[in-house]
Every structure is written in structure tokens, then in C-alpha cells.
């Protein structure tokens, strides 16, 4: 695992003080060790994803970083401040978008934001402009005067993201920001997050069960049973797990199999008229293949191991199992009751 090297690399490139530094962080609940001495660093402007099966310790970790839960051991600094000794400084510099909605349904979108601005001491002179800016960012400016109880689930999430950004935090924490939303709404929320990243210099720390969301992250930590079992870029994690699969259709499959063996030392297989084999860097290999195989190729495809393969390799479970868990349903049911 390339944990330490990957960390140092990103910090050196990003320059400046890290947005988050975690060292030996622990949390015990009675006899349950929810988080067992984890360590990592997040660079300014990075989108850092936390993945793991149910009960891995993701929420416990994010709660400690947000100062909502006191660590049992170790240290964590967020936006340059210690989460225990400088709790208020941490709070001023972070935005939260959590699983359980905390919007007031009887208030309009704009009133919810005004209330939050007062709570966070956003200067009166900038509040109106800032509210407009964040509402436009999540495409809710036109609906600002409507009560939140009339909003769809996706609109509420977007409003929560806008609220999390209102006081211009340096680090935005998103705890499963799209859980329970349909795929289109999830995709549109990611569009907004992407737009936000381009508009404001902000570090994003998020947990998710969804692999396609993990793909948006600059780096991912996979957590299992309170420990970080893998930490790297999505591409590096996939590369570690396995080689690329190359599939070719040729004018003469037997000759192609022989040429692959003789010229490249590759043992390929033939399945339903498709010659298939694995190489470390498929896209770089394809030009060589065309130049040197000596057999006509009519089609070629290269596929990478997916993050699902990575998750499976490190946790022994598929992310889909984790995704469709009873726990998610409980969260959804709890939301429905509100």
C-alpha cells in the first residue's frame, strides 16, 4: 500500500499548510473500538473520500473532525486548528452537510440561510450577496421564497450544500451527501459540487457508499473495522488491484494468440471470437499491438479494474452490499418520518 508516499506527494504539490492532519486518532465506545488509531493528511483544495462498509468508523471519524465527538486518543487538526483545544476555531472554518437534514421546513429557503448566517456571524453587509451567490450556485435562487417543505429531496440537499457554504468555510464536510437520492439527482448534486470547486478554493472531505462518487475524489481512503486499509488516488488503487483487460477481434485468432505469445510473452485466451488478455497499462500497449502483432485487428477495447474491484480486494465485500444495507434503509425511513 502506497499510503505514506501518496500523502507526502500531494502535500508537496499543493504547498502550504494541510487542510486536515490526523495522527493516531482513536475513538472507543465502551468496549467497541470504532476508530483504531488512524492517520492521514488532506491537502488544501483536495477532494478526499472516505469509503467503507457499514460500521467501518467513517461517521465516527467525520464527527471527530467536525468537533461533534471527542477523540479517545490521537490528534486531529482541521484548517490549522486542533479539534479539541481549538474547537471554536475549527467550527468557524468548516461547513457541514450531514445525512440527517436539519433544515426548517416551515421557513423558506432564503430564511433558512439567513438564520444560518446569523448563527455563524456572517457580517450583515455581505449576507444578502452571499445568499444570492450560494443559491445561484445550487440553482435555487428562483425558489428562494418557497417553503422548504415544498422542495424535493434533491432540492433540500442542494439547499443544505448552499447553507454549508454560506460562511465561506475552508473545509466542507459531506457525510453521504447523496444517500437516498436517485441517480440523476446524485449526478446533478455532483455537478454543483464540481462548480463549487471551481468557484471557491475549498477542501472537501466526504464519506460515501457510492463508487461512482468515489471516482470524483482526488484521493480515497478505504476504512474497514476502524482502520484505514488503503489510501491513494482512484487510479493508483485500481492499478494496484490488477492489470487492464484488453479485448481484440482479429482476422486470424489462432495467429493472434501465437503472435501474442511469441512476440510479447502474453498468454491470451479466446472467448466467443474475442482474444482477451491482461497487461499493466492497456492504453499504452495498444499502439504497440497494432504495430507489432502482424495480424489484422478489427476492434479493440481496454477496461480498467473498477473501484468495486478495489473495495472488494480490501474489505472482502462489494460496495453494492454496503450500499443496499439495512442501515441505509433505516436512515431513509428516519428521514421519511420527519
Ligand X SMILES: Nc1ncnc2c1ncn2[C@@H]1O[C@H](COP(=O)(O)OP(=O)(O)OP(=O)(O)O)[C@@H](O)[C@H]1O
Nearest to 176 by CA among 308, 7, 335: 335
Residue 329 Cβ vs ligand X, minimum distance, rounded to whole Å: 11
238 binds ligand X (CB under 6 A): no
- Residues found in the chain: 338
Task: Using DSSP, state whether 281 is helix, strand or coil.
Answer: coil
Residue 151 Cβ vs ligand X, minimum distance, rounded to whole Å: 25
Among the listed residues 59, 93, 112, 250, the single contact to ligand X using CB under 6 A: 59
Say how far apart CA 239 and CA 209 lie, in whole Å: 21
The grid cell for 225 is: 473495522
Among the listed residues 52, 109, 282, 305, the single contact to ligand X using CB under 6 A: 52
Counting DSSP H helices and E strands in the chain, the numbers are 14, 14
Which span sits near ligand X by CB under 6 A: 50-58, 105-113, 124-132, 192-200? 50-58
101 binds ligand X (CB under 6 A): no
Residue 69 Cβ vs ligand X, minimum distance, rounded to whole Å: 8
Phi and psi torsions of 282, nearest 5°? -55, -45
Q: Which is nearer to ligand X, 155 or 319 (CB)?
A: 319
Among the listed residues 58, 116, 163, 219, the single contact to ligand X using CB under 6 A: 58
What is the pairing mode between strands 244-250 and 297-303?
antiparallel
57 binds ligand X (CB under 6 A): yes
Maximum Cα interatomic distance, the chain, rounded to a whole number of Å: 76
327 binds ligand X (CB under 6 A): yes
Among the listed residues 22, 25, 34, 231, the single contact to ligand X using CB under 6 A: 34
The grid cell for 257 is: 494468440
Neighbours of 32 (CB within 10 A): 11
55 binds ligand X (CB under 6 A): yes
List interacting residues with ligand X (CB under 6 A): 29, 32, 34, 52, 54-60, 327
Amino acid at each position: 500500500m502506497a499510503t505514506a508516499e501518496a500523502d507526502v506527494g500531494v502535500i508537496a504539490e499543493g504547498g502550504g499548510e494541510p487542510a486536515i492532519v490526523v495522527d493516531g486518532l482513536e475513538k472507543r465506545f465502551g468496549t467497541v473500538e470504532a476508530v483504531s488509531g488512524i492517520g492521514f493528511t488532506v491537502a488544501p483544495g483536495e477532494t478526499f473520500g472516505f469509503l467503507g462498509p457499514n460500521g467501518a468508523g467513517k461517521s465516527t471519524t467525520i464527527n471527530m473532525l467536525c468537533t461533534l465527538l471527542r477523540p479517545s486518543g490521537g490528534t486531529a487538526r482541521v484548517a490549522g486548528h486542533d479539534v479539541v483545544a481549538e474547537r471554536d476555531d475549527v467550527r468557524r472554518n468548516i461547513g457541514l452537510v450531514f445525512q440527517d437534514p436539519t433544515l426548517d421546513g416551515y421557513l423558506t429557503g432564503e430564511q433558512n440561510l439567513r438564520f444560518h448566517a446569523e448563527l455563524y456571524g456572517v457580517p450583515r453587509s455581505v449576507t444578502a450577496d452571499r445568499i444570492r451567490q450560494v443559491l445561484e450556485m445550487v440553482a435555487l435562487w428562483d425558489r428562494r421564497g418557497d417553503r422548504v417543505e415544498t422542495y424535493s429531496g434533491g432540492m433540500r440537499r442542494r439547499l443544505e450544500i448552499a447553507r454549508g457554504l454560506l460562511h465561506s468555510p475552508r473545509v466542507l464536510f459531506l457525510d453521504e451527501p447523496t444517500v437516498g437520492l436517485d441517480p440523476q439527482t446524485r449526478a446533478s448534486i455532483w455537478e454543483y459540487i464540481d462548480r463549487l470547486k471551481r468557484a471557491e478554493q475549498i477542501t472537501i472531505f466526504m464519506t460515501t457508499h457510492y463508487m461512482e462518487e468515489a471516482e470524483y475524489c482526488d484521493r480515497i481512503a478505504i476504512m474497514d473495522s476502524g482502520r484505514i486499509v488503503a489510501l491513494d488516488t482512484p487510479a493508483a488503487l485500481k492499478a494496484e488491484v490488477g492489470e487492464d483487460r484488453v479485448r481484440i477481434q482479429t482476422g486470424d485468432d489462432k495467429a493472434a494468440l501465437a503472435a501474442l505469445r511469441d512476440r510479447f510473452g502474453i498468454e491470451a485466451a479466446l472467448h466467443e471470437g474475442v482474444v482477451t488478455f491482461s497487461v499493466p497499462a492497456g492504453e499504452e500497449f495498444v499502439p504497440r499491438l497494432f504495430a507489432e502483432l502482424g495480424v489484422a485487428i478489427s476492434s479493440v477495447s481496454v477496461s480498467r479494474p473498477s473501484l468495486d474491484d478495489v473495495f472488494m480486494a480490501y474489505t472482502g465485500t462489494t460496495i453494492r452490499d454496503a450500499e443496499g444495507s439495512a442501515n441505509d434503509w433505516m436512515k431513509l425511513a428516519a428521514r421519511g418520518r420527519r
